[in-house]
Structure 1
Amino acid sequence: MGLAEKRLAESIKTEKLPAFEAKLKDKSGYDINVDIDWNTFISYDEYPLSRLEIVFDDIESFVKKICADDMGKEALQDKMATISLTNSENNDDVKMELKDKTLFLTVQLVQSSFNSQTDSQLVNYIEPLL
């Protein structure tokens, strides 16, 4: 990790993450905390950090789809308070799990490939659990 990764991570922490959390609150009607395991994103190069916004967009879209009405907003609030993001270089680690009001998402934003959950995959996983 070099200075470029540190600067980009700090920019995301101070500017993009608060804006993202505000968008989630706007869509869901409640605060959803986003916990990012920064070490897993900055230990490579700038590439994973530069792709984080794509993950944010899919999460925002998933929350919007679930929270299309008051029933969805209430159901999501009862089951999810936090989203935990981890990056892995191993494609086999990519997964999603809802446990203890936390949605754990492991994405693979390293190397030349890109693997994360789409908004539709998130909806298809979460909706039956609500």
Structure 2
Amino acid sequence: MGLAEKRTAESIKTEKLPAFEAKLKDKAGYDIKVDINWDTFTAYDQYPLSRLDIVFDDLESFVKKICSDDMGKEALQDKMSTIQLTNSDNNDDVKMELKDKTLALTVQLVQGSFSSQTDSQIANYVEALL
């Protein structure tokens, strides 16, 4: 990881991430911690870090869909308190799992391709488990 990646990651940690978690709290009615495996995002270059905005938008939209009413908010709060993000350079690693109150998402934000779960895919997966 070079200086540019370190600066970008630090900016996300101190500015974008707190604002994103505040948006999630606003939509869900409770705190949702976002845990980013920084080593998997900064191991390449700045490009995967710049794509985190897309992932954040999909996650915010997913939470909004589930938490459209009190029933959804309560159900999500019972099952999820953390979102864990991991990046991979292998498209076959892209997956999602809700376990132990953690929604673990592995995305592929490196190279020329881009693969992550859409808001609807995440909402459909999680809603089925609530």
Alignment size in residue pairs = 130
2: CA distance, partners of 1:30 / 1:123: 17
CA distance in structure 2 between the partners assigned to 1:124 and 1:92 by the alignment: 20
- The RMSD of aligned alpha carbons is 0.3
Identity of aligned residues (%): 84
Q: In structure 2, what is the Cα distance between the partners aligned to 1:117 and 1:128? A: 16
Partner of 1:62: 62
Ranges in structure 1 where 5+ consecutive residues have no aligned partner: none
Q: Deviations along 1:70-105, whole A, 9 cap, x unmatched?
A: 000000000000000000000000000000000000
1:21 is displaced (CA, Å) by 0.2
SS of residue matched to 2:53: helix
What are the Cα deviations for residues 37-80 of structure 1, in whole angstroms up to 9, with x where unaligned?
00000000000000001000000000000000000000000000
One-letter identity of the residue aligned with 1:46:
Q
TM-score, length of structure 1 as denominator length: 0.99
- Opposite residue 97 of structure 1, the aligned amino acid is E
Structure 2, unmatched stretches of 5+, are none
Whole-angstrom CA distance in 2 between matches of 1:22 and 1:9: 19
